[in-house]
């Protein structure tokens, strides 16, 4: 019976064959313990000389790391192992003997590991992060499908961007100039007028020369956009969504969180509604905390976000930022035009901003004024203004950065480990 490590629970006390790689091993005189992995999980294979015979036992003892093999044996319960089962090996067949696998159990530097990302993914920790990432992706679709959202894929190649082209990647599009999208939002607003509640989930690109543990050049973003929903409605969707992500990972990635040594108690606390503090109050709080490098009108940096986050167990919404430091399309607060109906969501434990969102301007005259103020003209922007001309309605939306969210929930210090093949400044390989 062929099976996988993820499925061994269905084959207790049966003999199975599994295609695996040797992850690690140790042996004494008459018994060897093989740490085996097949991608779906890790299992210990126990190989006893008296069972398999001298020749196979000797071969097992000399197997190299990452050698691929078909291993046969009986699945038995083993309460001590994280999986709950082990494999009592009765035989194996080598597919390919590996020699000098570059990533050994010893310590390697980050640049070496990044150069070997195609192999590094096989390690227990990277495997666990990818499984958490996968669960966050799965739970995202589950949440937005259940809420009646329609997936809309905005174009990556666009004629222009609403936020300037300095941080955009440029390519020739036959005879035209095109840029890689930094956000699908403008397109999603058009789609929300057609389909009500929509979301995108795709790669976005920022040609930014920054090199921090929170920045990727290419990253994935979830961008929901909702017709007939105001700023407050949007915050409720956001907190329910983030709560759903955390609960899904807790429920379905328990083993992975253990591998990552994630403090699960921190995650178990996460419960909507999340605290909301205004930008004004945040500035005041920071000043009290002794920050002298921030004044009303400044945007927050990582240390400010971390200080605010540390004051709460929950993710925190910072609302009502000055319109001047936010995007041109954000709806000003009718009670105070100097601030926008917007919020950033700051993750706990210093993982930084994971969501930015706002109500959008829907008044045609105000949007036209913004176009003039920001010098938005020409055919690349005409269509977006038309959304305010033909049955404009109140609407709101937000964007969640996938990798920052993975970093937070999995407890991963550096964002480069949260995406299969990171693109960083000076890192286009492998």
Instruction: Name residues contacting a second copy, limited to 39-68 (CB under 8 A).
Output: 39-40, 66-68
What does 334 interact with, of a second copy, Mg ion, none (CB < 5 to 8 A by kind)? none
CB of 323 to a second copy, least distance (A): 22
- Taking the C-alpha atoms of residue 327 and residue 358, their distance in angstroms, rounded to an integer, is 9
Give me the least distance between CB of 305 and a second copy, in Å please: 26
| Interface residue with Mg ion, options 218, 223, 344, 403 (CB under 5 A) | 344
344 binds, among a second copy, Mg ion, none (CB under 5 to 8 A by kind): Mg ion
The answer to whether 236 contacts a second copy (rule: CB under 8 A) is: no
Nearer to Mg ion, 353 or 359 (CB): 353
Q: Which is nearer to Mg ion, 353 or 403 (CB)?
A: 353
- Is residue 193 near a second copy by the rule CB under 8 A? yes
Choose between 218 and 353: whose C-beta lies nearer to Mg ion: 353
Does the footprint of a second copy cover residue 391 (CB under 8 A)?
yes
d(CA 143, CA 358): 20
If one asks whether residue 227 binds a second copy (CB under 8 A), the answer comes out as: yes
**238 binding partner (options a second copy, Mg ion, none; Cβ < 5 to 8 Å by kind):** none
353 binds Mg ion (CB under 5 A): yes
> 35, 90, 306, 392: which one contacts a second copy (CB under 8 A)?
392
Q: Which of residues 127-186 bind a second copy (CB under 8 A)?
A: 127, 130-131, 133-134, 137-138, 141, 145, 148, 150-159, 169-174, 176, 178, 180
Q: Tell me which residues in 403-422 interact with a second copy (CB under 8 A).
A: 419-421
3-class SS string, the chain: CECCHHHHHHHECCEEEEEEEEEEEEECCCEEEEEEECCCCEEEEEEEHHHHCHHHHHHHHCCCCCCEEEEEEEEEECCCCCCCEEEEEEEEEEEECCCCCCCCCCCCCHHHHHHCHHHHCCCHHHHHHHHHHHHHHHHHHHHHHHCCCEECCCCCEECCCCCCCCCCCEEEECCEEEEECCCCHHHHHHHHHHHCEEEEEEEEECCCCCCCCCCCCEEEEEEEEEECCCHHHHHHHHHHHHHHHHHHHHHHCHHHHHHCCCCHHHHHCCCCCCCEEEHHHHHHHHHHCCCCCCCCCCCCCHHHHHHHHHCCCCCEEEECCEHHHCCCCECEECCEEEEECEEEEECHHHCCEEEEEEEECCCHHHHHHHHHHHCCCCHHHHHHHHCCCCCCCCEEEEEEEHHHHHHHHHCCCCHHHHCCCCCECCECCC
Shortest CB 422 distance to a second copy, Å: 8
- The nearest distance, CB 417 to a second copy, in angstroms, is 13
User: Which of these, 116, 206, 188, lies nearest to 151 by C-alpha position?
Assistant: 188
Residue selected from 236, 311, 325, 393 as contacting a second copy according to rule CB under 8 A: 393
Measured from the CB of residue 40, what is the shortest distance to a second copy in angstroms? 5
Q: Which is nearer to a second copy, 95 or 311 (CB)?
A: 95
Supply φ then ψ for residue 186, to 5 degrees. Answer: -60, -40
Give the x-and-dash track for 91-130 against a second copy (CB under 8 A).
----xx-xx-xx-------------x-xx-xx---xx--x
Q: Is 384 in the site for a second copy (CB under 8 A)?
A: yes
Cα 188 to Cα 367: distance, rounded to the nearest angstrom? 17
Give the burial string for 63-95 (b: 16+ CB within 10 Å, else e). bebbbebebbbbbeebeeeebebbbbbbebeee
In the shown chain, the binding pattern of residues 201 to 220 toward a second copy, with x for contact by CB under 8 A and - for none, equals: -xx-x-x-x-------xx-x
Q: How far is CA 159 from the centre of its chain?
A: 28
Restricting to residues 306-345, which ones interact with a second copy according to CB under 8 A? none
CB of 300 to Mg ion, least distance (A): 6
Q: Which stretch binds Mg ion (CB under 5 A): 103-111, 231-239, 270-278, 341-349?
A: 341-349
d(CA 105, CA 261): 18
- State the binding partner of 119 from Mg ion, a second copy, none, CB within 5 to 8 A by kind: a second copy
Q: How far is the CB of 277 from a second copy (least distance, A)?
A: 28
Residue 353: name its binding partner from Mg ion, a second copy, none (Cβ under 5 to 8 Å by kind). Mg ion
Rounded least distance, CB 201 to a second copy, Å:
9
Nearer to Mg ion, 38 or 353 (CB): 353
Return the range that interacts with Mg ion (CB under 5 A); candidates 150-158, 185-193, 346-354, 365-373: 346-354
Which residues of the shown chain bind Mg ion in the complex (CB under 5 A)?
344, 353
């Amino acid at each position: 019976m062929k099976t996988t490590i993820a499925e061994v629970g269905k084959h207790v006390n049966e003999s199975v064959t599994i295609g695996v790689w040797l992850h690690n091993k140790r042996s004494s005189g008459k018994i060897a313990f093989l740490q085996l992995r097949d991608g779906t999980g890790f299992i210990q294979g126990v190989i006893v000389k008296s069972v398999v015979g001298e020749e196979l036992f000797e071969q097992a003892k000399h197997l190299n790391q990452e050698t691929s093999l078909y291993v046969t044996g009986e699945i038995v319960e083993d309460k001590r192992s994280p999986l709950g089962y082990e494999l009592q090996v009765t035989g194996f067949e080598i597919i390919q003997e590996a020699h000098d696998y570059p990533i050994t159990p010893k310590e390697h530097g980050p640049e070496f590991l990044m150069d070997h990302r195609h192999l590094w993914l096989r390690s227990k920790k990277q495997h666990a992060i990818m499984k958490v990432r996968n669960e966050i992706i799965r739970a995202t679709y589950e949440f937005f499908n259940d809420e009646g959202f329609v997936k809309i894929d905005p174009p990556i190649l666009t004629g222009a961007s609403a936020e300037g082209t300095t941080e955009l990647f440029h390519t020739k599009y036959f005879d035209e100039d095109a840029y890689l999208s930094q956000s699908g939002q403008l397109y999603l607003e058009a789609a929300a007028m057609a389909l009500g509640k929509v979301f995108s989930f795709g790669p976005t690109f920022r040609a930014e020369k920054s090199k921090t543990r929170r920045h990727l050049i290419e990253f994935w973003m979830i961008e929901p956009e909702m017709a007939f929903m105001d700023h407050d409605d949007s915050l409720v969707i956001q907190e329910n969504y983030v709560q759903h992500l955390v609960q899904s990972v807790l429920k379905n990635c328990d083993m992975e969180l253990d591998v990552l040594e994630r403090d699960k108690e921190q995650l178990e606390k996460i419960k909507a509604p999340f605290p909301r503090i205004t930008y004004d109050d945040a500035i005041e709080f920071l000043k009290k905390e002794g920050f002298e490098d921030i004044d009303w009108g400044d945007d927050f940096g990582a240390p400010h976000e971390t200080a605010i986050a540390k004051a709460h167990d929950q993710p925190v919404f910072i609302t009502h930022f000055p319109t001047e430091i936010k995007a041109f399309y954000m709806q000003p607060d009718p009670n105070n035009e100097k601030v926008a109906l917007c919020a950033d969501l700051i993750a706990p434990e210093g993982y930084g901003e994971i969501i930015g969102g706002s109500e959008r301007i829907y008044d045609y005259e105000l949007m036209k004024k913004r176009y003039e103020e920001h010098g938005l003209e020409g055919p690349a922007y005409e269509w977006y203004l038309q959304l305010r001309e033909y049955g404009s309605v109140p609407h709101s939306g937000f964007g969640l950065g996938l990798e920052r969210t993975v970093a937070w929930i999995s407890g991963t210090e550096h964002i480069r480990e949260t995406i299969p093949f990171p693109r960083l400044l000076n890192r286009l390989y492998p």
